Chains A and B, each alone.
Chain A
Amino acid sequence: MSDKQEFEPRIIYILCSWCGSGGGETAAAHHLHYPENVRPYRVNCTGALPTVHIIRPLIEGADGVAISGCHPGDCHYNDGNFRARRRVALVKSILDTLDLEPERVWFRYVAHGEGRRFVDTATEFNDHIKKLGPNPLKTRSDT
């Protein structure tokens, strides 16, 4: 077996406390499973997520960062997810301009009731990162 197939990514899954986390709860209620290497990280609202907290995991050990908040129009605080979308777009644009693999950051809406979508997102993102391979940034000691 090649190294790539054995590679188990470390994934941070940032979830808002209303929809994203709710999706996780619904998944749990339905006994749906998602990869164990995906670590949920709960924030109050994706609109309250600082850009540095998207970048920092990629430097300190994560292979990918996924972010899930409420669907457009469903934000508990009305517009947090729209603000988050701009911030994610900003971070991706910076990473893209500097050739630093913007595809290691995902943003996807997951509603409270969408347990299946939550599990699918975690699984799909895990597979996607497995294909990409380990994040070179996290292993460098000279950054």
Chain B
Amino acid sequence: MLEGLKINKGAEEAVRDLLRSLLESGRVSGVLALGRTGGGNGGVAYSLFTDPDAFGADGVALPLLPFMPANAGGLLSRLTLKGPLAEPVAVVVKPCELRAFIELVKRNQGSPDNLLLISSTCGGVYPLEVGANDALEERLPGYWEAVKQGELDSDIRPTCRACVHFVPDNADITVALLGEADLDTQCALYLNTEKGSAFIEGLEDLQGTPLLGELEAEPIQRSRDQRAAYREELFAGVEAGLEGLIRTFGRCIGCHACKTVCPICYCSLCYFDSQDCEYRPEVYETELERKGGLRLPPNTIFFQLGRLAHVSVSCVGCGMCTDVCPADIPLSTIFSKVGDSVQALFDYQPGRDVTEEVPLMTFEEEELVQVAT
């Protein structure tokens, strides 16, 4: 089994070549990757590509673009919800997207069969507004310069700067990006699974030398330390306590966009959009009588506490929620902070292992004795 491949091409070109030759050789029938839509100045979206030309030098695909218009974990779940794909498809996703997909697979919301999972050591993604304002292109040179040094651009999502799980856990192929000084001329592909190396081995157009060396090198460690420190800093800024939460969520406009983009929120009907959360007039009257007033739309804190109860155990910290919030509520920070304590409680790390059960779907007979009063 091949453990890795060193290719004498820049990472961008090498990954494009890899995907193109996977398509040309028929080893995969399609590739899910980011790509430009609507020509020149159009948007960027995840798309399924079947045309190898999409990965040519001027192709529309942008597999390594530091951008996340949707968490691809949710998209993969949508593709495979009703059953696994019939033919092999390669997907190029960020580590948090992969983790989200694993969490969804555990919940029977998708299937990893026939998917060749390609991910990379992630230097973070830019917020959606950067892409919407067409400012992404001009940021890229600075972004890749920083990534080469093992540093992060300060304009990426705060949650990315605070992410300590930026090395993918379950990828068949990992593209080394962060801290690779010769990113423009060399590309290291780590083949983590037999599936990964089977797809690569003997592939024409992709000539390289066997890779020696470890993915977990000094720049990765350094970045992890820096990001862990920033994580603490972000968490310290969370306004806890009732007053703090009312201040923070007081800005909520009740659009539920955070729930819509969350990959872990997979229910087709959300409890908070259901009739259970619509009140009869007499309930409103009682509320008014008891509280002397009522905020509308109601249930900002209840919605977020409920969502925390549902997703915090599997929150992968992708930052989609913060990114789409029109009221600038630092949701991802709050969810990651609560997620850390909940995940520590169950000694659980979302997306680490597909065979590990979601804590709320299992139990130990002898545990948590302190919970019973």
Chain A residues within 8 Å of B, Cβ to Cβ: 50-52, 55-56, 59-61, 72-73, 79, 82-83, 85-100, 106-109, 136-143
Contacts of B294 in A (CB 8 A): 141
Candidates B244, B246, B371; contact of A92 at CB < 8 Å = B371
**Most interface-central of B293, B302, B309, B345 (chain A CB within 10 A):** B309
B residues in contact (CB < 8 Å) with A? 240-242, 244-246, 249-250, 271, 287, 290-295, 298-302, 305-306, 308-310, 312-313, 334, 337-338, 341-342, 345-346, 359-360, 363-365, 367-368, 371-373
B321 → chain A closest CB, angstroms: 16
Chain A-chain B contacts (Cβ-Cβ < 8 Å), number: 120
Given A141-B291, A143-B302, A86 contacting B363 (CB threshold 8 A): yes
Q: Could you tell me the distance in whole angstroms from the C-beta of B106 to the nearest C-beta in chain A? A: 16
| Known contacts A82-B365, A142-B250; A94/B308 CB under 8 A | yes
Nearest chain-A residue to B341 (Cβ)? A97
Interface of B is mostly: helix
Question: In the complex, A137 Cα to B250 Cα: how many Å?
Answer: 14
Chain A min CB distance to B143 (Å): 33
Contact, CB under 8 Å: A98 / B291: no
Please give, as numbers and ranges, the residues of chain B lying within 8 Å of A93 by CB-CB distance: 338, 341-342, 345
A98 to B308, CA, bound (A): 11
> Is A107 in contact with B372, judged by CB distance below 8 angstroms?
yes
Q: In the bound complex, do residue B365 and residue A72 qualify as a contact, i.e. CB atoms below 8 Å apart?
A: yes
In the bound complex, how far is the Cα of B271 from the Cα of A85, in angstroms?
A: 22
Residues in B whose Cβ lies below 8 Å from that of A108: 372-373
* Residue of B249, B306, B313 with highest tally of chain A CB at under 10 A: B306
Q: Are B305 and A55 in contact (CB under 8 A)?
A: yes
B310 CB to closest chain A CB, in angstroms? 7
Chain B: CB-nearest residue to A66:
B373
